[in-house]
Structure 1
């Protein structure tokens, strides 16, 4: 890889915006696309170039990142009209960072190879904070050679960047991540609900339990938001519900029962039914109020 690359980025939401900033800061040339152009204005003002479609981004890029909401969004930007895989750009590396299905990751890999392109599925964990600090965990599936090729670029915003196996393995690893978070969120909420009922100073409780055996990312980063009544999204409930559904669907294919995950999803489904889908995942604490 040359020092300064032509990089495309599709999907500049809560996390994508921070990643584009890291790439710009490193001196790379960025072309971006998002469905709502106004959401990209800040990035254009600091050096990114706006493109009119995914196809337009893919035509001239050396590496193209995608980070959108749902598997059907991924399907549309890769295979739809004016999609990425319609571009004539042999050697292009496409990296989907959306949390999507392993099956779709394998489909993208297959079609990319047929067009002389390279593909990775590379979902991330770390939320908005990890994206801002450049300390995401990135889980990669695809060809090992492709992973090695783009590792220096991934290192601009990732701290733990690991190769997990062939196409789809990154997405399967992300499901392991989401399953761990899902059931852990119940534990965080129940600990705070218990502490509140017991009349404890919840900030002081967190100081004690966050650094012990109960410690977790959710406890350190989301519990303070719960206590403060801050339900702004670092990660949307609607996207978390999507991830849990993917994990449950994949588990069913493997004849695996995940009762903890089923319980958590049912609780988040209830929040969605009450209109909280655009809130952050820490909003689960409302189930205990």
Structure 2
């Protein structure tokens, strides 16, 4: 069992969500080594007592449980499988837990490489955005060997409230694709509903009070629609990362010979927003598509 007395945690990626997630582990009394490409992003954690690793390789030599929360599959592949990557430098018996939304096939590749070095690899992407990360209420979708998942569950419990084992390596990532597919079409509906209310001369805040608790209710409607109305397009989750996720899901669906017209439409709209310079805005900025 992992305890603050026998565990040193590494956390790579201290962005919008990773910062809060690492903070919860520190608050529970764990020694945490952190690494981020931009050290300034880790400033608050360092002030709170986190220790800095100059490279992922250094983090790997210090910690016996390492979490990663980075941007793109290419980042994941470099951090895990690159010459200075975690798989090559982590201590035998270590646990590597990737919480990035990445490609299921890459999760399987990392798992196989790690297993060859007696290292435990788990894919555990999350949902809940910046709010879920701050409140430690993330939904965590987990793939890997069930025994490994149960071993780290107490640590996952510090960051989330809905932690479901989905199956073999890659299953967590496939589940996250289901999540992103559902969100993609839902975000279109949320934005269209808000704009419709405005054009009909209604008070959109009053409309939200009616529809968020009915059959139309969703996380996006409750949490992101108010941000749209307040003109708050700061990222709880970046558009550029959502486009990345949708691309992964489209590729996986094509591999399964599955049509996903709702997902394809959502990606097309978000691609247009990115071309308008909104790639670093939050996903709720889709609202601007109807305002352009």
TM-score (norm 2): 0.98
The corresponding residue for 1:15 is 17
Which 4+ residue blocks in structure 1 deviate beyond 4 angstroms? none
Q: CA deviation at 1:88?
A: 4.8
2 CA distance for matches of 1:62 and 1:158? 21
The corresponding residue for 1:173 is 175
Q: CA deviation at 1:288?
A: 1.1
Distance 1:88 1:216, change over 3 A: closer
2 CA distance for matches of 1:221 and 1:272? 22
The corresponding residue for 1:92 is 94
The corresponding residue for 1:254 is 256
The corresponding residue for 1:77 is 79
The corresponding residue for 2:69 is 67
**Aligned length, in residue pairs:** 289
2 CA distance for matches of 1:152 and 1:213? 34
Q: CA deviation at 1:38?
A: 1.6
| 2:2–2:152 Cα contact (<8 Å) kept | no
Map 1:1-289 → 2, pairs under 5 A: 1-4=1-4, 5-289=7-291
Q: Which runs of 5+ in 1 are unaligned?
A: none
Q: CA deviation at 1:81?
A: 2.9
2 CA distance for matches of 1:41 and 1:53? 16
TM-score (norm 1): 0.99
RMSD in angstroms over aligned alpha carbons? Answer: 0.7
Instruction: Report Cα offsets for 1:191-243 as digits up to 9, x if no partner.
Output: 00100001111111101100010000000000000011110000000000000
| 1:96–1:123 Cα contact (<8 Å) kept | yes
Instruction: Report Cα offsets for 1:78-107 as digits up to 9, x if no partner.
Output: 112321111150110000000000000000
